[in-house]
A and B are shown apart, each in its own frame.
Chain A
Amino acid sequence: MNGQGLIKGLSVTIKHFFSPKITELYPEVKPKLPESVKADFDLDREKCIACGICANACPNKVITIETEKDENNKRRLKRYEMNMQYCLFCGLCAESCPTKAIITKQNFELAAYSRENTKRLLYQADKAPASETEPGAKE
């Protein structure tokens, strides 16, 4: 019968009218990212043995590690910095770490106003833990 298609079309659209919306209310509601998303890094200072494998594994030379010897002539981490503007988030650093000290996080809001702020200081020996200072926060 004529007009069946019209009714079918109307019924299809009204279903979409009541179905859940796919729009993400981004700044208020954080998106649900797939597990494999790597966007930020954190360093477990207790686990890190300052071997420097992560710095070697990095294809873009993002990671700078400064070490020092302690009183037992053991290598100790002095400074761990990631220059995030060159990071391609491949995750090879986290993969290569023998003690799993460097871990990936899903906080992707890394935008910063100036080039200096893109540097991510994950550890500095004589300073308070620097990991909490999110990039872009200190304008």
Chain B
Amino acid sequence: MENFFVNIAGLIRDLIAGFGLNETLVYLAMVIVKFVAVLVFVLLNVVVLVYMERRVAGFFQERLGPNRVGPQGTLQLVMDIFKLLSKEDIVPAGADKFVYKAAAYAIFVPTILVYMVIPFGKGMNVIDLNLGLFYILAISSVTTMIIFMAGWGSRNKYSLVGGMRAIAQMVSYEIPYVFSFLGVIMLTGSLKMSTIVEAQQGVWFIVLQPIAFIVFLIAGNAEINRGPFDLPEGEQELVAGYHTEYTAGRFAMFYMAEYANLLAMAAIGATVFLGGWQGPWLPGWLWFFIKMYALVFGQMWVRWTFPRIRVDHLMHLNWKVLLPVSLANIVVTGIGIKVYQMVRMMGWW
């Protein structure tokens, strides 16, 4: 079972190679096959996540959530998607039409690209980049621009305010988010995702870097505009923030991108801090899946517990708490590494 998906990829590879293509073309074809596989994985998981979110939210509020359509309400989201797609697609009269339309398609691009380097199991990533973690951080920060495209293109004051808040929030939280990974990078000496996972053979980085993990959870939650940090789409004052004007299929894109981002965040957290696909008995990809969903559940738990944070408190938390804490964590990690090296060198332990 361990190499189930790797074996499938191998079979497809042999099949493509059987057409008599040269090495480069086979490689390219395999990348496309893997890309499609990841795309399907993400879309299926988004469906599960939205259902899960609604059920979990219901359970936290002592309700049952959707439980009518299909067994236990599992087909609810399928119906919702059909409903959304059958609705009228409205482009506001004053909107910057190109930007408005482009944003709805572009919002999914960075999210999908992030998944390209995530190891779903042993040898189960589309491309194992040397700069994997750096690539993830670089790509995911592009989302900020697209959200602002949506906010600006809608020509609506709520959308614009939502977009501006998104920029302020996501650019600020990018910094502790990146710093929270630095401790891990110092420990492994690599940005390669597979190396980071392999370095957690004995002990997960959540044990060595607990503060970094907490900073990652908070900053990551703010990065994906969820939970207590959903200011860019604060319902009470901004209707729906940057996607106020979006309807039908375009709205579905934003909605799905939100959950795809949540899953991406959980996948990064599971890889970097929770040991990725490492784990006893069960196959690696299943372990990864379990860890990912545990983090997702944690995020939902937080979201349905805490009220929305105030704008100035948001900035306060970032610049005056998370940033110093994550910097201190880097310093302590550096000292710790040196002390450990010294102890090993002197042969004391």
Which residues in A have some Cβ–Cβ distance to B below 8 Å?
6, 9-10, 12-14, 16-17, 19-23, 25
Contacts and interface: CB of A to CB of B under 8 A. Distances in A.
B306 A16 contact: no
B312 interface: no
Given A10-B302, A13-B60, A17-B60, 6 more contacts: A9-B306, A10-B301, A19-B62, A20-B62, A21-B64, A23-B63
Question: Which secondary structure dominates where chain A touches chain B?
Answer: helix
B293 interface: no
Given A13-B301, A14-B301, A6 B306 contact: yes
Contacts, number: 35
A65 to B, nearest CB: 45
Contact of A13 (B58, B64, B304): B304
B305 interface: yes
A125 B304 CA distance: 62
B61 interface: yes
A25 B67 CA distance: 10
B41 interface: no
A9 B305 contact: yes
A21 B59 contact: yes
Nearest to A6: B306
A25 to B, nearest CB: 8
Contact of B305 (A13, A20, A22): A13
A9 B305 CA distance: 6
A31 to B, nearest CB: 15
B60 A16 contact: yes
Contacts of B304: 13
Given A6-B306, A9-B306, A21 B301 contact: no
A14 B302 CA distance: 10
Contacts of B302: 10
A103 B64 CA distance: 36
Contacts of A9: 305-306
A16 B57 CA distance: 11
Given A10-B301, A13-B301, A21 B306 contact: no
Interface in B164-210: none
A17 B297 CA distance: 12
A5 B185 CA distance: 32
A117 B137 CA distance: 68
Contacts of B63: 21-23
B62 A22 contact: yes
A19 B59 CA distance: 8
Nearest to A18: B59
Contacts of A6: 306
17 contacts: A6-B306, A10-B305, A13-B60, A13-B301, A13-B305, A16-B60, A16-B61, A16-B62, A17-B56, A17-B60, A20-B62, A21-B62, A22-B62, A22-B63, A23-B58, A23-B64, A25-B67
A82 to B, nearest CB: 35
Interface string B289-327: 000000000000110111000000000000000000000
A3 to B, nearest CB: 9
